[in-house]
Amino acid sequence: MDNAMMIGLSRQMTLRRSMDVVANNIANANTAGFKVESLLLENRAAPTATHDDGPADIQFVNTWGMARDFRQGELAFTGREFDLAIDGGGFFAVESNGEEQFTRDGRFRLDGAGQLVASDGAPVLDADTRGPILIDASAGSVQIVEGGMIMQNDQQIGRIGVFEIANRSEMSKQGNGRYTIPPIEDPANEPLAMIDATVSQGFVEQSNVQSILELTDMMSVMRSYQSVSKFLEQAEDLSKRAIERLGRI
């Protein structure tokens, strides 16, 4: 395979991945707490096909990583007692599969044991104890006040954990709008509870996806893919003609 076709195929592979990312963004436009993603690319040098002149290396395009836009989405009013939204930075923490996971999705509820849990039953963690939050629903209504404190009958019964992640680039996506972080070697980088966090009760943070921009990106990716496909067809046709001419000589 000649150099032109190898370069074209490498670009097609990244365009397919870009299309998957854009499609996933659009599919999650109404998912609470979802953060829009984009594909990061890099040039990668590789030896050329055998030739007598020209450059020693050619530049392929390659997937380098994934970027996430953690800007806050709009807060939508729901009026439900345990729907919570962070107004500002930070993440809620839940315990799932024996590990801490972080999320901006605050659609919480009480389970049968009186634990505050996420939609899939994962316990929401307290800012101070890093353990489950227990609430007696029969004791009266609950108010979430400044700093995420949980008040019931004028008594503090817990504090919603809102944690700041020092290096968001190290967060790994786990699905369901949740992220994990690698083991922390330096205690200074441990996620810390934010004492000044603003937690809005009766609200849910919406996705920060802008559907119009994502649809525009999708059309751009489609046009680019079509252009590369046409280029590959022309390159293949040129190779066929060159082979036919060599056969006649």
Beta strand extents in the chain (DSSP E only): 37-47, 57-68, 75-77, 84-86, 91-96, 99-103, 109-110, 116-117, 143-144, 149-152, 155-159, 162-164, 172-175, 178-180, 192-193, 199-201, 203-205
Same domain, 152 and 64: no
Q: What is the pTM of this model?
A: 0.81
Q: What's the whole-number average pLDDT of the chain?
A: 87
Q: What is the DSSP letter of 87?
A: S
Band of pLDDT at residue 28, cut at 50, 70 and 90: very high
Same domain, 90 and 148: yes
Same domain, 85 and 200: yes
| Higher local confidence (pLDDT), 213 or 241 | 213
Pick the closest to residue 8 from 249, 189, 241, 226 (CA basis).
226
- Would the pLDDT of 50 be above 70? no
Note the Cα 103 to chain centre separation in Å: 10
- Would the pLDDT of 213 be above 80? yes
- Would the pLDDT of 248 be above 70? no
Same domain, 96 and 187: yes
Same domain, 98 and 189: yes
- Residues 54-112 have pLDDT tens digits of 555 677 777 788 899 999 999 999 999 999 999 999 999 999 988 999 999 999 999 99
* Contact partners, residue 210, CB within 8 Å, separation at least 6: 36
Same domain, 37 and 149: no
Same domain, 120 and 159: yes
Q: What is the residue range of 213's domain? A: 3-70+209-248
Phi, psi for 180 (deg, rounded to 5): -120, 165
